[in-house]
A and B are shown apart, each in its own frame.
Chain A
Amino acid sequence: MEQLILASGACDPAADIICKPENVNELFEFTHPLFSIGPFDFTRTVFLTFLAMVIVLAFLYFGLRKTRVVPSRFGVLVESAVGFVRDDIAKGVIGPEGGRYVPYLLAMFLFLLVANLFEVTPGINFPITSRMAIPVFLSLLTWVIFVVVGFFKNGFRYVLDIIWPKSVPIGLRWLVGIIELVSTFLLRPLTLAVRLFANMVAGHLMLTLLLVSGWVFMSSVGDIGARSIIGLPWFVFGLGIYLFEIVVAVLQAYIFTLLSAVYIQSSVHPEH
């Protein structure tokens, strides 16, 4: 919001038809670090990343510290989250071997859930996954895991089966092989990261534009009089989008984890 006001102050509404920043990412940068350690700036985004880590650790620690036969209400919440990732995502997609990947998938799901829900948390209102570094790092982690698992389980045949698929007519094998090679090793991590990033950027921009413009119109009632009523529909529409964004935040965390599991599954059982 601070960046939006700065950006809107930099342009001349009389001369420019569209007032927009050079790049959307400028709106998501915090240029004033809280403090710096050497060349590393400790900005609000970094602080929120550590906060998300602490929240996930506390959630799991306090939920699973004392496991009882009849767990407390909070314990039920934590156990259902763990059970959802273990049974529905890991074992449901990967199969019986999926148990080995539960820690990774659970950590990723909970971290992304907290990071995405920062978007709709009052007082924070900033999804840290809208900074490209975090989705890219997580998707590269998934990439490394599924490539290493593929080589570990199948040896060099893992790549051979991708570039020379046996189930395809021989005349088309080279074409399907090229497409599969590009899609497996290049497009998978790219789309995995960009999907999360794009959803969070679009959601944050929509929320900020609608709620801020509505608020600015309604709060300047003294200057523009009855015309400030135009801000009310914006604000109401923004609140509707707010509810929608809660769904999007949870769904994107789920889809990121689900696709990671599917990619790992395609390395564990390459013939499917």
Chain B
Amino acid sequence: MTPEAADALKGAIALVGYGLAAVGPGIGIGIVVGNAIQAMARQPEMAGQSRTTMFLGIAFTEALALIGFVLFFIA
């Protein structure tokens, strides 16, 4: 394999790696938001607090995808 081909392959594999890293957080954020909507529908008077907690949950769940993003840049 020529060095150029190896370089191109490395970039492609990094892209696939980022895609895989995004799967888990995608599912996690779906669960977080879905449950937050349920909580807001059941207790609308707590909607403000649920929304803040939802953003926090999203932010923490996102961390894995962000690490994948960084690795994509480094690779």
Number of A-B contacts (CB under 8 A): 33
Number of interface residues of A (CB under 8 A): 16
> Which B-chain residue is minimally distant from A251 (CB atoms)?
B55
* A198 cross-chain contacts in B, Cβ below 8 A: 66, 69
* A254 cross-chain contacts in B, Cβ below 8 A: 55
Indicate with 1 or 0, residue by residue over B45-64, a CB within 8 angstroms of chain A CB atoms: 00000001001100100110
Number of interface residues of B (CB under 8 A): 11
Docked-complex contact A195 and B55, CB < 8 angstroms:
no
Docked-complex contact A258 and B52, CB < 8 angstroms:
yes
Docked-complex contact B55 and A92, CB < 8 angstroms:
no
- Measured in the bound complex, the distance between the Cα atoms of B55 and A190 in whole Å is 18
> Which B-chain residue is minimally distant from A194 (CB atoms)?
B66
Docked-complex contact B59 and A259, CB < 8 angstroms:
yes
* B56 cross-chain contacts in A, Cβ below 8 A: 258-259, 262
Q: Which of B55, B63, B73 contacts A187 (CB 8 A)?
A: B63
Say if the beta carbon of A219 comes within 8 Å of chain B. Answer: no
Say if the beta carbon of B31 comes within 8 Å of chain A. Answer: no
Docked-complex contact A255 and B55, CB < 8 angstroms:
yes
Say if the beta carbon of B70 comes within 8 Å of chain A. Answer: yes
Residues of A53-77 at the interface with B, using a CB-CB cut-off of 8 Å, are none
With A191-B66, A194-B70, A195-B66 known as contacts, the answer to whether A92 contacts B52 (CB < 8 A) is yes
With A195-B59, A195-B62, A259-B59 known as contacts, the answer to whether A190 contacts B70 (CB < 8 A) is yes
* A92 cross-chain contacts in B, Cβ below 8 A: 52
* A190 cross-chain contacts in B, Cβ below 8 A: 66-67, 70
* B62 cross-chain contacts in A, Cβ below 8 A: 191, 195
Indicate with 1 or 0, residue by residue over B22-58, a CB within 8 angstroms of chain A CB atoms: 0000000000000000000000000000001001100
- The minimal Cβ–Cβ distance linking B47 to chain A, given in whole angstroms, is 13
- Measured in the bound complex, the distance between the Cα atoms of B63 and A142 in whole Å is 17
- Measured in the bound complex, the distance between the Cα atoms of B70 and A195 in whole Å is 10
* B66 cross-chain contacts in A, Cβ below 8 A: 190-191, 194-195, 198
Docked-complex contact A194 and B55, CB < 8 angstroms:
no
- Measured in the bound complex, the distance between the Cα atoms of B66 and A187 in whole Å is 10
- The minimal Cβ–Cβ distance linking A16 to chain B, given in whole angstroms, is 10
- Measured in the bound complex, the distance between the Cα atoms of B63 and A195 in whole Å is 8
- Measured in the bound complex, the distance between the Cα atoms of B63 and A103 in whole Å is 27
> Which A-chain residue is minimally distant from B63 (CB atoms)?
A191
* B70 cross-chain contacts in A, Cβ below 8 A: 190, 194
* A194 cross-chain contacts in B, Cβ below 8 A: 66, 69-70
Residues of A245-272 at the interface with B, using a CB-CB cut-off of 8 Å, are 254-255, 258-259, 262
Residue contacts A-B, CB under 8 angstroms, 9 given: A92-B52, A190-B67, A191-B62, A191-B66, A191-B67, A198-B66, A255-B55, A258-B55, A262-B56
Interface residues of A (CB under 8 A from B): 23-24, 88, 92-93, 187, 190-191, 194-195, 198, 254-255, 258-259, 262
Given A191-B63, A198-B66, A258-B55, 9 other A-B residues pairs in contact with their CB atoms under 8 A:
A24-B73, A187-B67, A190-B66, A191-B67, A194-B66, A195-B62, A258-B56, A258-B59, A262-B56
